[in-house]
A and B are shown apart, each in its own frame.
Chain A
Amino acid sequence: NAGVTQTPKFQVLKTGQSMTLQCAQDMNHNSMYWYRQDPGMGLRLIYYSASEGTTDKGEVPNGYNVSRLNKREFSLRLESAAPSQTSVYFCASSVTQGNQPQHFGDGTRLSIL
């Protein structure tokens, strides 16, 4: 019953460093998402993949890139980390895009110094 697995759980970077956050789901879901959660704000969508082979920008895509590696895996890359990207990042998946519940991983806590 792993569900959505995110790695790493914690990471500290220096400004300008790059990093890839990994996400994998074992529920055979078609759609996957990346969110960030900041204090006092709701979850905000960074990128999503409605199905394998497709990716689209969400509300706050600047500074990020994504790759849908296969049906199970969806990665988020920070090419040149900035302090404003300090946040908790959540990956989620759903059966399809649309009015289906999304299931979340436990997040990656990322600090940019």
Chain B
Amino acid sequence: EDQVTQSPEALRLQEGESSSLNCSYTVSGLRGLFWYRQDPGKGPEFLFTLYSAGEEKEKERLKATLTKKESFLHITAPKPEDSATYLCAVHSYQGGSEKLVFGKGTKLTVNP
């Protein structure tokens, strides 16, 4: 069964304190890995797509990396406005069926 596990469930940082969020997955036929940001009361907002091991994407203070079994979302010198829940999702293809499997998310709080 395809699974996506995100850790930690919650993370509190001080402004400027860099850290990483983890997304580990077990899927057959990985086609892509997606990172989303979700603010309270809002829908997920697309951040990055990674397609193959070794790939990296950057946007402002965020950098996403991908290996064969996990992805990391690195947050450099975070600001309070980076506080949100970060979701990881994996797209798999097996036996003619495509699906997107979401993790439960990591809730990030950045204190000023």
Partner of B104, one of A40, A102, A105: A40
Chain B residues near A107: list those with CB within 8 A.
41-43
Chain B residues near A40: list those with CB within 8 A.
104
Chain A residues near B43: list those with CB within 8 A.
4, 90, 92, 104-107
Q: Which stretch of B13-21, B44-52, B68-76 is in the interface?
A: B44-52
B46 to chain A, nearest CB (A): 5
Decide: B4 and A101 in contact? CB cutoff 8 A. no
| Known contacts A99-B51, A106-B43, A42 near B103 by CB under 8 Å | yes
A95 to chain B, nearest CB (A): 12
Chain B residues within 8 Å of chain A by Cβ, number: 25
- The docked-state distance in angstroms from the alpha carbon of A106 to that of B43 is 4
Chain A residues near B51: list those with CB within 8 A.
99
Chain A residues near B98: list those with CB within 8 A.
97-98
| Known contacts A99-B32, A101-B34, A102-B100, A43 near B87 by CB under 8 Å | yes
**A72 within 8 Å of B (CB atoms):** no
Interface of B is mostly: strand
B103 to chain A, nearest CB (A): 6
Chain B residues near A45: list those with CB within 8 A.
99-100
Q: Return the CB mask of B80-110 against A: 1 if under 8 Å, else 0.
A: 0000000101010100001111111100000
**B31 within 8 Å of A (CB atoms):** yes
**A41 within 8 Å of B (CB atoms):** yes
Q: Which residue of chain A has its CB nearest to the CB of B30?
A: A99
The chain A residues found within 8 Å of chain B, CB to CB, are: 4, 40-45, 58-59, 90, 92, 97-99, 101-107
Additional A-B contact list (12), CB under 8 Å, known A92-B43, A106-B43 = A42-B4, A42-B87, A42-B103, A42-B105, A43-B44, A58-B99, A98-B93, A98-B98, A102-B34, A103-B46, A105-B43, A106-B41
